[in-house]
Amino acid sequence: MCGIVGYIGSKQAPSILMEGLSKLEYRGYDSAGIAVHDGTKINLLKAQGKLVNLAKMLENNQIQGKAGIGHTRWATHGAPSDINSHPHMSEDRMIAVVHNGIIENYMEIKEELSAKGYRFVSETDTETVAHLMDYYYKQGHGFLESVFMVLERIEGAYALGIICKDYPDTLIAARKNCPLVIGKGQGENFIASDIPAILHRTREVYFLNDNEVAVIKKDSIDIFDRDKNKVDRDIFHVNWDIDAAEKGGYDHFMLKEINEQPKIVQDVLSIRMKEDEDEINLEGISLRKDDLKNIDRIYIVACGTAYHAGLVGKYLIERIARIPVVADVASEFRYKDPILDERTLLIVVSQSGETADTLEALRIAKRNKARVLAIVNAVGSSIAREADDVFYILAGPEISVASTKAFTAQVVAMELICLHISMETGKMTKAEFSAARAELNSLPGRISEVIQKCGEESKLAEKYINSKNVFYIGRGLDYLISMEGSLKLKEIAYLHSEAYAAGELKHGPIAMIEDSTLVIAMLTQEELFEKTLSNIKEVKARGAKVIAIALNGNDSIKSQVDDVIYVPRSGWMTAPIIANVTTQLFAYYVAKALGTDIDQPRNLAKSVTVE
Ligand code: F6R
């Protein structure tokens, strides 16, 4: 949510900033801007719309300089417009600021500064920071001291990049509850919201912690805590491939990421399960028999797609390990005074590891002495660093705003954790464990099969492109996967779709079914097949068109529905993961046929670092 990049060194900053922003555009894409220090003054360029607009502007206005900050925006305060774009500057261009997050008390500060004669031109909260910096600075406090004073005053969440006209050799960064990394180069240094923005330039990064401030020059990086003490920080070497953050010949990141799923699943399985061992290798994660004895309540908390993975986790842990689990969306959990103590295990699930609500849920749990296990993709992210234990899903950078590969890997992580708990608590026999392991091991091959035979999804996407309302239905795990399928279609194809427990339809939503309403019925749970089939008949009787997603060999379904997409036959635990790949592909091809912006759907952004 909003991307920040900054550079200081001996090269020309504009192209480096633009390169960084192009890698961060998935975080926000309604406007972009850069501010560059040319040694004597700060030059500013900003443009509404995608980065390409800013790039065109830059072609016509060649600004130069060896230090600068850039920003790609996802609007929170004020509509997308040139004027609301970042960077924001003080009136006499002394200070330029880029910001990710929300300054909650900005109205109060704005009123105070307006009374002092400061003139605000934008509707943003960020402009307050530029003017407040200017105010303290003009009172005679130095650049760094003014930053500390601003941080004392502002409330909310922020990652900030700040430059000052009087300090052409200095870039200051600060963070609280929003991600920020500092890249260390040779005679040049960087800041960025996310590693891909600077990976072409350096693999050595420092993660800035909350309430820390970094003073960055071309040959030095000094990090200070809130009490202005210098802190030592270990450098982190990024070992993943640059290609992982590139499209690699695919039309869209989403399609590339769908295609990566077999390998990701294979990798995580090979680390966590050994052929000759009757246990899951959860090395370093405190979920042994003795730890579990001390747990009497489990929550799984997450947002969006990650929440759907959490729901699968709840279903599995309750059904197999026989432990009650509460699953909740983080934005609700954090405000309901949840019952938490040292006997609680909170499992948070997050691709980015930076989602504001999920991070806050973790912090509330920790304040109440609960144990926190995080299932995370982004290595070194806030959630990963603050949790007691981390299960990294190792899916590599997910650039498409609509999550696909992370979801699959999160569900696999949930399955592994569930098997582990079940074995530790004696709820599963060795024979059952071996069967489950074999089922999991067959997943990569079966997902590959779905991806290779994607012709059906593409054909049906064209056929049903004019659907106005879409219902995804299923029972048991199929229902949970329906929720994810429906979310994908909404996100990238902008089609109204709902997911319903198939048995729940007649309690209200069936009123919406009319001629040609599209119903996508998930049928991977064989014990529930007949029940869902009855619900299919109910919607068919009311004029719906039905696509069934069914297991290979289920010929009887053909005569009951309009179309069938067959998926490889698999056990009840893994079949929904395979079927979900079908819904990913279906959403992708509908969006493609409709010509939407698949990787950067409207109004969305990756990594939601505001509430
Ligand atoms: C949907 C999607 C979002 C995220 C949600 C949580 O495709 O990506 O719903 O799942 O914003 O994000 P993370 O997993 O980063 O906490």
pLDDT, one tens digit per residue, over 588-610 is 999 999 999 999 999 888 778 77
Average pLDDT over residues 87-91: 96
Average pLDDT over residues 465-489: 97
Average pLDDT over residues 289-309: 95
Whether the pLDDT of residue 76 is over 90: the answer is no
Instruction: Kindly report, residue by residue over 338-354, the tens digit of the pLDDT.
Output: 999 999 999 999 999 99
519 contacts: CB under 8 Å, gap ≥ 6: 470, 471, 472, 473, 513, 536, 539, 544, 545, 546, 547
How remote is the CA of residue 138 from the centroid of ligand 1, in Å?
Answer: 42
Give the number of the atom of ligand 1 that is nearest the alpha carbon of residue 305. 10
Residues 352, 385 contacting (CB under 8 angstroms) = no
Residue ID of nearest Cα to ligand 1 atom 11: 304
The pLDDT of residue 375? 98
How remote is the CA of residue 304 from the centroid of ligand 1, in Å?
Answer: 5
How remote is the CA of residue 375 from the centroid of ligand 1, in Å?
Answer: 13
Residues 353, 193 contacting (CB under 8 angstroms) = no
Whether the pLDDT of residue 221 is over 80: the answer is yes
State the pLDDT confidence band at 222, using cuts at 50, 70 and 90.
Answer: very high
Residue ID of nearest Cα to ligand 1 atom 3: 304
How remote is the CA of residue 254 from the centroid of ligand 1, in Å?
Answer: 14
Q: Which of 312, 351, 377, 598 to mutate to test the pocket of ligand 1 (most atoms within 8 A of CB)?
A: 351
Residue ID of nearest Cα to ligand 1 atom 16: 350
Residues 276, 402 contacting (CB under 8 angstroms) = no
| Rounded to 5°, angle at Cα 86 from 119 and 190 | 130
| d(C-alpha 129, C-alpha 134), whole Å | 8
Instruction: Kindly list the structural domains of the chain, giving each domain's residue range(s) and its CATH number in brackets, ordered by start.
Output: 3-239 (3.60.20.10), 251-450 (3.40.50.10490), 455-594 (3.40.50.10490)
Q: Is the C-alpha dihedral spanning 311, 317, 319, 320 positive or negative?
A: positive
Whether the pLDDT of residue 242 is over 90: the answer is no
Give the number of the atom of ligand 1 that is nearest the alpha carbon of residue 406. 14
Give the number of the atom of ligand 1 that is nearest the alpha carbon of residue 404. 7
Give the number of the atom of ligand 1 that is nearest the alpha carbon of residue 358. 16
Whether the pLDDT of residue 75 is over 90: the answer is no
State the pLDDT confidence band at 2, using cuts at 50, 70 and 90.
Answer: confident
State the pLDDT confidence band at 421, using cuts at 50, 70 and 90.
Answer: very high
The pLDDT of residue 539? 96
Average pLDDT over residues 175-179: 90
Q: Which of 427, 422, 418, 433 is nearest to 276 (CA)?
A: 433
Residues 494, 596 contacting (CB under 8 angstroms) = yes
Q: Which of 252, 301, 305 to mutate to test the pocket of ligand 1 (most atoms within 8 A of CB)?
A: 305
Average pLDDT over residues 80-99: 93
Q: Which of 608, 610, 611 to mutate to test the pocket of ligand 1 (most atoms within 8 A of CB)?
A: 608
SS3 204: strand
State the pLDDT confidence band at 29, using cuts at 50, 70 and 90.
Answer: confident
How remote is the CA of residue 407 from the centroid of ligand 1, in Å?
Answer: 9
| Two tokens, residue 276 | 């000759």
The pLDDT of residue 611? 79
Q: Which residues of 293-317 are buried (b: 16+ CB within 10 A; e: fewer)?
A: eebebbbbbbbbbbbbbbbbbbbbb
How remote is the CA of residue 455 from the centroid of ligand 1, in Å?
Answer: 28
State the pLDDT confidence band at 278, using cuts at 50, 70 and 90.
Answer: confident
For every residue of 141-161, DSSP letters joined together read: --HHHHHHHHHHH--EEEEEE
How remote is the CA of residue 302 from the centroid of ligand 1, in Å?
Answer: 8
Average pLDDT over residues 374-402: 93
Residue ID of nearest Cα to ligand 1 atom 7: 402
Give the number of the atom of ligand 1 that is nearest the alpha carbon of residue 351. 14
Which residues carry out catalysis? 2, 606
State the pLDDT confidence band at 540, using cuts at 50, 70 and 90.
Answer: very high
| Two tokens, residue 193 | 């919201």
Average pLDDT over residues 426-439: 94
Average pLDDT over residues 369-390: 94
* pTM (2 d.p.): 0.86
Give the number of the atom of ligand 1 that is nearest the alpha carbon of residue 407. 10
Residue ranges around ligand 1 (CB below 6 Å): 303-306, 350-352, 355, 358, 402-403, 487, 491, 607-608
